């Protein structure tokens, strides 16, 4: 069976290796993986932005079928279709150090591999009717959007939501918000992407390259700001995200795109608007199971921009780095 290792960091150092097919131990399942999808976290691992052991298998998303189960596994059987979890130890409840210590594709091996053994509790079923490629888009990006809006934000019909950009998480957030009856506003960098966002139900779209104070623009056009902001840029977007939020609104910080690792916050706006600022990283197994149920009821399907083959991981990351994608980039085999 084949797998890809980081081999010290850098896209040119991604290495295809071959190794024996593993056997599941007690409490484990053996999964034949068929697809993965790209997240910014995976890109940072691949280029060395997040240090990992030289032979780490990257990719935090995976979807496949169970080949066999180890002793004591009663909730899964051969042939079941499953998808991975970003935090394989976070089953339910609040996050803790122990629950979030293991991160798929970073502190433990990920899913750009044909087969691997994982704990029986570290996967969930995939939505009925989903392909492996479609399911592989969900565990990181979709679950982050679900947690930000539904769990932390307690989204209600009629609420106003701001999404930033057209990456996988943002597009999922648009779909989930519309599914719940919310009004969605968006930012993007091109007229073509703006038109696609409007066709998916966005009320209005602001080009952030043409309007540096896009937060203030959104606050005005919404008649007093949005109830929920999903901030993807960290320091590069937070000032505008706070500006766009309504009094009593929620700003969910989920990313550091661009040069957003460090930045400043307009503190008077933060507390005089009575905002709730929350940082989140993906979610638990219970959240993922609830999301799957909602997806099946609504019939929502992911937006897949482009698909690559197993041995094209480096090319897929290079395409991701261009920022041209709309939705998710997948690899399937």
pLDDT tens profile 169-196: 999 999 999 999 999 999 999 999 999 9
Residues 271-311 pLDDT 10s: 999 999 999 999 999 999 999 999 999 999 999 999 999 99
Alpha-carbon span 150 to 154, nearest angstrom: 5
Alpha-carbon span 273 to 249, nearest angstrom: 8
Q: Are residues 147 and 213 in the same domain?
A: yes
Residues 67-78 pLDDT 10s: 999 999 999 999
Report how far apart the first and last C-alpha atoms of the chain are (Å, whole number): 12
The answer to whether residue 285 is domain-embedded is no
Q: Are residues 129 and 224 in the same domain?
A: no
Residue 136 confidence (pLDDT)? 98
Long-range contacts of range 16-21, CB-CB < 8 Å, 24 or more positions apart? 16/311, 21/115
The answer to whether residue 288 is domain-embedded is no
Give the tokens for residue 132: 């492996």
Q: Do residues 54 and 249 make contact, with C-beta atoms less than 8 angstroms apart?
A: no
- Domain span at residue 328? 2-137+302-332
Alpha-carbon span 204 to 193, nearest angstrom: 12
Q: Are residues 60 and 125 in the same domain?
A: yes
The answer to whether residue 286 is domain-embedded is no
Total structural domains within the chain: 2
The answer to whether residue 296 is domain-embedded is no
Q: Which residue has the tokens 């399942």?
A: 29
Asked whether the predicted pLDDT for residue 260 surpasses 70, the reply is no
The answer to whether residue 287 is domain-embedded is no
Q: Are residues 112 and 157 in the same domain?
A: no
Strands 15-18 and 2-5: antiparallel
The whole model's pTM is what? 0.96
The answer to whether residue 16 is domain-embedded is yes
Q: Are residues 132 and 220 in the same domain?
A: no
Asked whether the predicted pLDDT for residue 259 surpasses 80, the reply is no
Residue 241 confidence (pLDDT)? 97
Q: Are residues 104 and 48 in the same domain?
A: yes
Residue 258 confidence (pLDDT)? 67
Q: Do residues 21 and 44 make contact, with C-beta atoms less than 8 angstroms apart?
A: no
Q: Are residues 147 and 121 in the same domain?
A: no
Could you tell me the sign of the dihedral formed by the alpha carbons of 175, 176, 177, 178, in that order? positive
Give the phi and the psi of residue 157 in degrees, each rounded to 5. Answer: -55, 135
Report the CATH number at residue 35.
Answer: 3.90.180.10
Q: Which of 225, 256, 249, 229 lies closest to 241 in space, CA to CA?
A: 229
The answer to whether residue 216 is domain-embedded is yes
Q: Are residues 80 and 202 in the same domain?
A: no
CA 212 to each of CA 209, 233, 239, 268, 324: distance values in angstroms, whole numbers, following the listed order: 7, 14, 11, 20, 21
Asked whether the predicted pLDDT for residue 91 surpasses 90, the reply is yes
Q: Are residues 154 and 118 in the same domain?
A: no
The answer to whether residue 38 is domain-embedded is yes
Alpha-carbon span 154 to 261, nearest angstrom: 27
Q: Are residues 238 and 321 in the same domain?
A: no
Q: Are residues 130 and 244 in the same domain?
A: no
Q: Which of 321, 326, 329, 330 lies closest to 196 in space, CA to CA?
A: 326
Report the CATH number at residue 184.
Answer: 3.40.50.720
Q: Are residues 314 and 248 in the same domain?
A: no
Give the phi and the psi of residue 138 in degrees, each rounded to 5. Answer: -90, -45
pLDDT tier for residue 266 given thresholds of 50, 70 and 90: confident
């Amino acid at each position: 069976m084949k797998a890809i290792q980081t081999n010290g960091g850098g896209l040119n150092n991604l290495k295809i290796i071959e190794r024996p097919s593993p056997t599941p131990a007690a409490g484990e399942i053996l999964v034949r993986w068929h697809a993965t999808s790209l997240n910014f976290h995976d890109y940072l691992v691949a280029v060395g932005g997040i240090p990992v052991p030289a032979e780490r298998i990257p990719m935090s998303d995976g979807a496949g079928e169970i080949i066999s189960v180890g002793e004591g596994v009663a909730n899964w059987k051969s042939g079941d279709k499953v998808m991975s979890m970003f935090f394989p130890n976070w089953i339910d409840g609040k996050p803790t150090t122990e629950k979030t210590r293991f991160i798929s594709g970073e502190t433990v091996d990920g899913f750009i591999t044909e087969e691997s053994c994982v704990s029986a509790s570290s996967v969930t079923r995939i939505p009925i009717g989903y392909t492996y490629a479609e399911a592989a888009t969900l565990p990181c990006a979709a679950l982050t959007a679900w947690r930000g809006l539904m769990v932390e934000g307690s989204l209600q019909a009629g609420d106003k939501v701001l999404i930033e950009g057209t990456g996988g998480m943002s597009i999922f957030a648009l779909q989930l918000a519309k599914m719940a009856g919310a009004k969605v506003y968006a930012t993007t960098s091109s007229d073509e992407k703006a038109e696609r966002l409007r066709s998916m139900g966005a009320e209005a779209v602001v080009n952030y390259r043409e309007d540096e104070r896009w937060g203030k623009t959104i606050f005005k056009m919404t008649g007093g700001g949005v109830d929920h902001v999903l901030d993807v840029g960290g320091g590069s977007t937070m000032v505008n995200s706070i500006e766009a939020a309504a009094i009593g609104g929620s700003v969910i910080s989920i990313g550091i795109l661009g040069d957003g690792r460090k930045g400043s916050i307009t503190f008077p706006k933060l507390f005089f608007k009575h905002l709730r600022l929350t940082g989140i990283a993906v979610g638990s197994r219970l959240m993922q199971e609830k999301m799957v149920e909602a997806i099946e009821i609504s019939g929502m399907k992911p937006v897949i921009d482009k698909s690559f083959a197993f041995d094209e991981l480096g090319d897929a990351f290079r395409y991701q780095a261009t920022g041209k994608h709309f939705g998710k980039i997948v690899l399937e085999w």
